Amino acid sequence: MTHQAPLTFAPEVRDALDRGLPVVALESTIITHGMPWPQNLEMAEKVEAVIREGGAVPATIAVMGGRIHIGLTPEALRALAQTPPAEAMKLSRADLAVCIANGRTGATTVAATMICAHLAGIKVFATGGIGGVHRGAETSFDISADLQELAQTPVTVVAAGAKAILDLPKTWEVLETLGVPVIAYGQDELPAFWSRASGIKAPLRMDSPQEIAAAAAMRAALGLRGGQLVANPIPEADEIAQDQIMPVIEQALSEAAAQGIAAKAVTPFLLGRIFELTEGRSLDSNIALVLNNARLAARIASAMAA
């Protein structure tokens, strides 16, 4: 028995892809597990609007009723945003096929969104922050599947760096080992999600969407597998300085350890606690950086389509 990937395209996305117009993929775990209702819906709607303003078509990706949806209707987006985290599967490479085969609903992480975007023929994807090497990974072995995915699936991912709750130096080391180009946009230093600075020099720097598009095309021409990570610093007006966010992260991390939070629950728990401890400021910054990444992704997608 052979199967075809069960993709359902929003008509607008199908049309744009058929005509070679710029399309930007968006993930859905950030909606179900990364942000609380109703800010998650506001963010999801705004991010789509920003991509349209940038001259590209947004394609939010999720698994619903056993099909991969490439682009969601406003009603489907709302329904997803209202789904409690416990009811939507958090899908990575490991669980994507099971979720679909069982006819279930799930939100796609960076890894799963890359897989689905590639199946759909979409080359650019905007998110907040990728998963990475968790602190204490030397004993927990908790390393996000996002990193392996960047090494094998040809999609350009625009993020504000890796989430600062992670072990950032180890995350960058693993990406280097896996042969993933990590490109800081417009600065020499890698950004650290809520902050522009990380103190870590970026392995690569680019200053225009055209250069990023050309680099992706060259990777393909050389027959190199995998995508590239564009690390786009949060706008200055929206950042939380490192010395302010770090103590909050430390507290959230020690609470997670004390409560025995593990595996897939770690990232959502930490983001939720940091939201509470900053009285919502971390969420405002998170939304601002996602919008900023969407803007850049639309420009990269346009450069690739040109």
Q: Which residues bind ligand PSU (CB under 6 A)?
A: 27, 29-30, 33-34, 109-110, 127-129, 131, 144-146, 264, 267, 271, 286
- Assess contact for 80 and 62: CB atoms under 8 A: yes
Least Å from the CB of residue 306 to Mn ion: 37
The interface region with Mn ion, picked from 39-47, 114-122, 134-142, 239-247 by CB under 5 A, is 134-142
d(CA 203, CA 190): 8
Q: Classify the phi-psi angles of 104: left when phi > 0, otherwise alpha if psi is within -120 to 50, otherwise beta.
A: beta
Kindly name the residue from 27, 48, 149, 239 that is annotated as catalytic.
27
Residue 291 binds: one of Mn ion, ligand PSU, none (C-beta under 5 to 8 A by kind): none
Of 142, 146, 149, 167, the residue at the interface with Mn ion (CB under 5 A) is: 142
Least Å from the CB of residue 217 to ligand PSU: 25
Q: Which is nearer to ligand PSU, 16 or 106 (CB)?
A: 106
Kindly name the residue from 42, 163, 264, 276 that is annotated as catalytic.
163
Least Å from the CB of residue 110 to Mn ion: 12
- Classify residue 74 by burial, with Cβ atoms within 10 Å: 0-12, 13-18, 19+: exposed
Instruction: Tell me whether residue 27 is one of the annotated catalytic residues.
Output: yes
Instruction: Tell me whether residue 163 is one of the annotated catalytic residues.
Output: yes
Q: Which is nearer to ligand PSU, 167 or 300 (CB)?
A: 167
> Taking CB under 5 A as the criterion, which residues in 3-62 touch Mn ion?
none
Going from the C-alpha of 229 to that of each of 33, 285, 287, 288, the distances in angstroms are 22, 20, 19, 19
Written as one letter, the residue type at 255 is E
- Classify residue 260 by burial, with Cβ atoms within 10 Å: 0-12, 13-18, 19+: exposed
Q: Which is nearer to ligand PSU, 97 or 220 (CB)?
A: 97
The site for Mn ion, by CB under 5 A, has a size of 1
Q: Which is nearer to ligand PSU, 192 or 213 (CB)?
A: 192
Least Å from the CB of residue 127 to ligand PSU: 5
- Does 239 help bind Mn ion (rule: CB under 5 A)? no
Least Å from the CB of residue 216 to ligand PSU: 20
Question: What is the 8-class DSSP label of residue 28?
Answer: S
Q: Which residues pair with 110 in a beta bridge?
A: none
Binding residues for Mn(2+): 142
Helix (H) or strand (E) holding 247: helix 242-258
- Sign (positive/negative) of CA torsion 184, 190, 195, 199? negative
Say if residue 38 is preceded by a cis peptide, omega within 30 of 0: yes
What residue ranges bind Mn ion (CB under 5 A)? 142
Active site residues: 27, 163
